[in-house]
Structure 1
Amino acid sequence: MTEIDGVLAGKSQSSGVERVVNAPLPTVHGDFQAVGYLDRTRGDEQVALVHGDIREEGMLVRLHSECLTGDAFGSRHCECGPQLTTALREIAAEGRGILIYLRGHEGRGIGLLAKLQAMKLQAEGLDTVEANLALGLPVDARDYGVGAEILHDLGVRSVRLLSNNPRKREALVRNGIRVDAQVPLLIPPCDDNITYLRTKRERLDHDLPHLDAVVGHRV
C-alpha cells in the first residue's frame, strides 16, 4: 500500500465532493497520484495531483484554475501554463505536496467562449477587468470552496499556499484550512502579458512585486 492509499483507505469524508478514483500518474516532473473527484454541487469533475506523504502539517499546495489556452496551448497572454509547470516542479522537489486542478474556472469562471470574447476585447484595447464587464460578466466568478473540500477529504489541515492571489488564501481560511504561508509563484512577464499582469496587480490585488522591474507598458 502506498502513502496515498493509506490516506484514502476509508470513505470520502467531505459532503461537497465525492472521491471516485485514485490512479498513479507519472509525469516529467515526478510521480504523482491522480485523485479524481465529483463536485456534487456543480457536477464538475475535479482532480488532485498528490506527491509524497501528505500526512504532515504545512503541506505545499497549489490551487490551479483551469486554463485551456495557457495550460494546453502555451498562450503567452497569461502566465497560467508556466505557473502549472513550476508548481508541479516545486512540489516534486519538495518531496510532498498537492496540486488541485480546478475545473470550471476557465476565464476566471466565465467559461471558454466568453474568455475568448474577452481576449478579443483586450486585443482591441480594454484591460482584463474592463473586458469582462463590457460583456456583462463578473470580473471573477471563481469559487475555491471545492478546493478546500478536497483538502479536507485528503486529511490536510494546514498548507503553504503556492499563489499570488489573496482570494485563494481567504477562501481556504474561510473553509477551515489553515494557511501557514503564502508562497509566491512569480513568472517572468513577456510583452504579450505584461499589461494583463499589471491589471491583475492593480485591479485584482495579486501580489506581483517582480513587475516593478519591468519598464514601459501601462495598465
Structure 2
Amino acid sequence: MSFDSSAMPWVRMPTVHGEFSARVFSVQGEEHLVLKRGDVAGTPGVLVRIHSECLTGDALFSRRCDCGPQLARSLELLGQAQAGVLVYLRGQEGRGIGLRAKLAAYALQDQGLDTVDANLHLGLPVDARSYEGVVEILTTLGVRQLRLLTNNPDKIRQLEQPPLEIVERVALQVAVDEEHRAYLETKRQRLGHWLDL
C-alpha cells in the first residue's frame, strides 16, 4: 500500500491557540507539518515560525531547552495573526544531529560541556540544520514577504533568498527556566542568538 502525500488536502486543525489548516509537505525525503492561518498567498508581512523538531522539549516538556515554550508561544502569536504559517521541520532533532546523538550530547553536558562543545566532542557539527526546504514550502504557499519569529541569526541568513523577503524579525521571548539558563547563555554567547536573559 502506498500513499501520495503530494495529493494531501488541507485539514482543519483546532488548537488551544486557535484554528489552523494543516498539511504535510514532503521535501527531500522528509515529511514536514505546516499549519496555516488565514490567506497567506501574496499577503504582505505574513507571520512565520520555522520550528525544528524537538521531541524532548515539544512532546515531553523537557526543561533542558526552551523549544517547547517557544513552540507554544509561536502558536499563541500565530493564533492571533490574520495570516500566519508554522513550518514544523521534522528530522532536525538536536540542531540536526538526531535523537541518539542528542542524548549522547546530553550525557556530556551533564559532565560540564556546553551544547557546542558536546557536539564537537562527538565529532558532530555545532548546528547541522538546513532551511533549504522551507524556501520551497513557503514559495509553494505563495508567501513572499514575511515577519519571521526567531532569535537565530543563521535562520535569517539561510532564508533570505529570492523570492522570500524577511521584512521583520519578531523576537521570540519565553520565560527563562533556571534548568535551561546555561543552554540559553550558550546560544547567546557562542551562536549569536538574540536573547534577553
TM-score in terms of structure 2 length: 0.94
Corresponding letter in the other structure for 2:40: I
4+ residue runs of structure 1 moved beyond 3 angstroms? 17-21
- Amino acid in the other structure paired with 1:21: P
Tell me the distance in 2 between the aligned counterparts of 1:72 and 1:20.
25
In the other structure, the counterpart of 1:87 is 74
The code of the aligned residue for 2:24 comes to G
The match for 1:36 is 24
Gap regions ≥5 residues in structure 2: none
Question: Are the aligned partners of 1:19 and 1:35 in contact in 2 as well (CA < 8 Å)?
Answer: no
Query: Which among 116, 130, 136 is matched to residue 123 of structure 2?
Result: 136
- Work out which of the residue numbers 46, 52, 55 in structure 1 matches 2:38: 52
Q: Is the 8 Å Cα contact of residues 145 and 175 (structure 1) preserved in structure 2? A: no
Q: Offset at 1:19?
A: 6.3
For 2:9, the equivalent position in structure 1 comes to 21
Q: Work out whether residues 48 and 85 of structure 2, in 8 Å CA contact, stay in contact via their aligned partners in 1.
A: yes
The AA in structure 2 aligned to 1:46 is H
The DSSP-based 3-state class of the residue aligned with 1:21 is: coil
Determine the structure 2 residue equivalent to 1:173: 160
Structure-1 separation of matches of 2:180 and 2:142 = 37
Identity of aligned residues (%): 51
- Partner Cα distance (1:70, 1:152) in 2: 29
Please state how far the C-alpha of 1:171 moved relative to its aligned partner. Answer: 1.1
* Distance in 2 of aligned mates of 1:84 and 1:51: 16
Q: State the distance in 2 between where 1:167 and 1:19 align.
A: 32
Q: Which has the higher contact order (CA 8 A, sep 6+)?
A: 2
2:153–2:192 contact (8 Å) kept in structure 1: yes
